[in-house]
Amino acid sequence: MRSPPAPATNPHSLIGIELARFACTLPILLWHYQHFYYVNGQPVGFDTTAQPLFDWLKPFYLYGYLSVQAFWCLSGFIFFWKYARPVAQGSVPFSKFALLRFSRLYPLHLLTLLIVAVMSWRYEAINASAGFVYPNQDASHFVLQLLMVSDWRPGINWSYNGPIWSISVELLVYALFYGLCRLGVTKLWMVLALIAGSGAVYALKLSAHPVVLCVFFFYLGALTCLAHEAFVKLSPEARGPTLKAALALVMAGAALAVIDVLRPMHFVALLTPVAIIALLHWVQPKSPQAQQAIVTLGNMTYSSYLWHFPLQLLAALVFIHHPADLPAHSPAWLAGYLGLTYLLAALSYRLIESPAQNWIRDKVALGRARATA
């Protein structure tokens, strides 16, 4: 546990992570379901308990926003597993690291931003309002979103495709992660120090910037990666009891959360690492078809995150003259919203994200080849 693990050679060795990524999308989609009740930037007739199937989906409706922290933790695991050692050894230059991130994130961000900007302009033109859900629909905030730096400065600057805020913050942590890895900050005690330091800053309210919490959960994911590396080195006889003890701790945490002794965010910080290791241990399908199906679900994560708000804005435009007619209380509307979001996410990854990512990387590689020819 003293050094970052080397990436496994099996491309499906982290298949459980793909399932975890997909599982984290549902709470976000349900947390943002409240947007269907918004008119001109304000919820109208919104009652949390009246949302469809509330008794069954209550934790998601109330605390779904915490999936953002779980995503940060998952990112920390993946980045530490994949990049910590190569970056520390100097085999991954920053230009390559930045290109991989840019080609993966930016094309869909740009597309959804432009779509939201056009629809927002239309919504405001009809309603003479400040926006459907998010304020700050102006040129300066558009430029910030265009550059993916919308939430780098302190304060909440909700605008356009609002959910991108967490990706904007995470970009800062990507840069921090790369720099720290180049300095050799990959050992267990260093990871623990980063977790403790960021946790203290957040707990003492020394800074309200969301990057503090992002650092905490990102390096909690790095710690989970080191813990998983130690876990797989245990004997098969020891793995079962170890995992059972961890799951018992999570159950105890859940009980404390229910009676308001443990804050929901603290429970997520306990649940996510254990869930990651458990899924990696349990989800090991032998069938190539099952493996591909799970990978496909994982690939839908980013798409569903960026497409669900444009779909909500589209619904608001359809019902703009009679917003009360939008059947937000209907379970059928909820099912349609989730189904359409995931369908669009699957098509988006296959037809937009993956081709754009490959095109950008191929173009850069070709340019570099010509420059050295």
Q: What is the pLDDT of residues 129-151, one digit of tens each?
A: 778 898 888 898 999 999 999 88
Q: In 10 A of CB 205, how many CB atoms?
A: 8
CA 103 – CA 118 distance, rounded (Å)? 24
pLDDT at site 7: 46
pLDDT at site 335: 96
What is the arithmetic mean of pLDDT over 34-49?
89
Cα 350 to Cα 78, 82, 346: the distances in Å are 22, 23, 6
CA 250 – CA 267 distance, rounded (Å)? 8
Query: What is the pLDDT confidence band of residue 211, given thresholds at 50, 70 and 90?
Result: very high
pLDDT digits (tens, 9 = 90+) for 266-288: 999 999 999 999 999 998 888 88
Q: In 10 A of CB 166, how many CB atoms?
A: 20
pLDDT at site 156: 67
pLDDT at site 341: 97
Which residue ranges make up each domain of the chain? 15-365
Give the pair of three-digit tokens for residue 82: 């994949």
User: Average per-residue pLDDT in the chain?
Assistant: 91
Q: Answer for the pair 165, 149: CB distance below 8 angstroms, yes or no.
A: no
Residue 12 pLDDT more than 70?
no
pLDDT at site 373: 67
pLDDT digits (tens, 9 = 90+) for 317-339: 999 999 889 999 999 999 999 99
What is the arithmetic mean of pLDDT over 329-355?
96
